[in-house]
């Protein structure tokens, strides 16, 4: 598996290109941590994670995949650009807290990355035009 990084990701200027770079193509219902989910939850409530998470959100200006013009209006997720598993958490792998391997996303973008499903991506806002309130 290719190791992805924020440095490489930032070379792509469009949202679609960044999505393509990150897309994993898993399947719905595929277990990531299974019975070890408690390890994952313990990590995401840690002081260390909360600190690096805030740093990543600031670095990305609160934008989906760090792309200006894709400001996140609701809940913000910070995504590991390389999938991790329970062994990575148990062994305290340094990369899981390294901003070089993290990016800001929305929940729907995060799911689209994991499932490889573009239909889950947030739709861009359509600018209002005179007369666009007509039903047809």
**CB contact at 8 A, 67 and 38:** no
Q: What are the pLDDT digits (tens) for 41-77? A: 889 999 999 999 999 999 999 999 999 999 999 999 9
Please determine, for residue 103, whether its predicted confidence score (pLDDT) is greater than 70: yes
pLDDT tier for residue 29 given thresholds of 50, 70 and 90: very low
Please give the torsion angle defined by the CA atoms of residues 78, 31, 8 and 1, in that order, rounded to the nearest 10 degrees: 160
HEC secondary structure over 90-133: HCCCHHHHCHHHEEEECHHHHHHHHHCCHHHCCCCCCCCCCCCC
pLDDT tier for residue 25 given thresholds of 50, 70 and 90: confident
Please determine, for residue 30, whether its predicted confidence score (pLDDT) is greater than 60: no
Average pLDDT over residues 93-117: 94
pLDDT at 26: 66
What is the percentage of the chain residues whose pLDDT exceeds 90?
57
C-alpha to C-alpha distance for 22 and 15, rounded to whole angstroms:
11
C-alpha to C-alpha distance for 133 and 58, rounded to whole angstroms:
37
Mean pLDDT, the chain, rounded, equals 87
């Amino acid at each position: 598996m290719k190791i992805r990084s924020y440095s490489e990701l930032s070379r792509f200027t469009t949202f679609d290109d960044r999505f393509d770079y990150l897309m994993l193509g898993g399947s719905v219902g595929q277990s990531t941590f299974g019975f070890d989910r408690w390890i994952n939850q313990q990590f995401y409530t840690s002081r260390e994670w909360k600190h690096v998470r805030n740093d990543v959100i600031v670095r990305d200006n609160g934008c989906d995949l760090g792309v200006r013009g894709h400001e996140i209006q609701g809940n913000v997720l910070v995504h590991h650009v390389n999938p991790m598993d329970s062994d990575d958490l148990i062994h305290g792998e340094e990369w899981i807290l390294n901003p070089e391997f993290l990016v800001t996303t929305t929940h729907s973008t995060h799911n689209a990355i994991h499932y490889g499903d573009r239909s889950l991506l947030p739709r861009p806002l359509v600018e209002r035009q005179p007369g666009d309130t007509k039903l047809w």
